[in-house]
Amino acid sequence: MGLTLAEIAVEIGAELHGDGRIAVRALGTLKGAGPDQLAFLANPKFRSYLEQSDAAAVICTPDEVPFSPVPALAVADPYKAFALISRFFDPAPVGPTGVHPSAVVAATARVSASASIGPNAVVEEGAEIADGVTLMAGAFVGAGSRIGAGTRLWPNVTVYHGVSIGERCIIHANTVIGSDGFGFAPGRDGWTKIAQVGGVKIGSDVELGSCCSVDRGAIEDTIIADGVIIDNQVHIAHNVRIGRHSAIAGQVGIAGSVTIGENCIFAGKVGIAGHLDICDGVQVLGMTMVTRSIKKPGVYASGVPHDDHAAWRKNAVRFRQLDELFRRVKALEKSSGDKP
């Protein structure tokens, strides 16, 4: 059905330049949008695309309005405004209210009448499913767990027992929350498993990508605070704590008992060793291995950038020679009387 430009302007707090009666029925790019699609310009270097756009309207800053051949919605932050309005055009299916006949819901579970429980979903004893929750096909909610209002679990999400998930969260397919942490005591006869008696507490407005693993705490809970966003295939070990509004990209691995502050960003494949503290406002670049606590906000990196193979082989040999070269330099300094 779409929205009119006047309605969109109200939703995103924009100043409308053009006919507010024009209807928008889909989203598009500056280059590809047609006369019923909404586009945006966030970076002035793409202004040439704006000048040639056939979109129904463009979200842009006030400075770009004179260059727009189509109606414009002027805002301070076009990218955020586009994100806000995108939810009205989201094609994700909305499940019907009620419990599907093939779902299994325990007699002691509390399921809101406004929730949607999909095919083959399971809700165990004492679990609580709040208003407007969607459990898609095959989702599992363990005993005593709670799913907050408006949260959506995509197909085959598994929530173990004793897990609390806040409101308006999105948990994507095949993610597992509350599995046992990797806790074992070594001995002469092998490994003795340590029972993981903690749980997992996830705040509101959290999103977890597909195929993530969030382990339950060994004694105290694993905690993910409000507004955290987590990409696909991320592992969060037991007793990790992640502060509000932090962002974690794909394939990051966080070892046990790590505490991460607020507004942190971790790029792809970052590895974090166990029992470390990372303060607020830290950004860690891709493929970095974090082996000690970070106590000062800033940008951190490690690893070796790619190079052509021949140069890489030479540098790899030189790297192995660093210790010998260091010793030779120290010996030369000592023999010449130079201070280190």
Q: What positions carry a catalytic annotation?
A: 238
Count Cβ atoms below 10 Å from residue 77 Cβ, excluding itself.
13
Compute φ and ψ for 57, nearest 5 degrees: -165, 165
The SS3 of residue 7 is helix
| Burial (CB count within 10 angstroms: exposed 0-12, middle 13-18, buried 19+), residue 322 | exposed
Compute φ and ψ for 79, nearest 5 degrees: -65, -45
Compute φ and ψ for 328, nearest 5 degrees: -65, -40
- Report the alpha-carbon distance of residue 133 to residue 153 in Å, rounded: 8
Per-residue tokens: 239: 């007793």
From the list 134, 141, 133, 137, the residue with the least C-alpha distance to 158 is 141
Count Cβ atoms below 10 Å from residue 51 Cβ, excluding itself.
12
Compute φ and ψ for 312, nearest 5 degrees: -65, -40
| Burial (CB count within 10 angstroms: exposed 0-12, middle 13-18, buried 19+), residue 149 | middle
CB 228 within 8 A of CB 244: yes
Beta strands 170-171; 207-208: pairing state:
parallel
Count Cβ atoms below 10 Å from residue 18 Cβ, excluding itself.
18
Phi-psi region for residue 211, left (φ > 0), alpha (ψ -120 to 50) or beta? left
Beta strands 176-179; 282-284: pairing state:
unpaired
Amino acid at 32: G
Per-residue tokens: 240: 């990790």
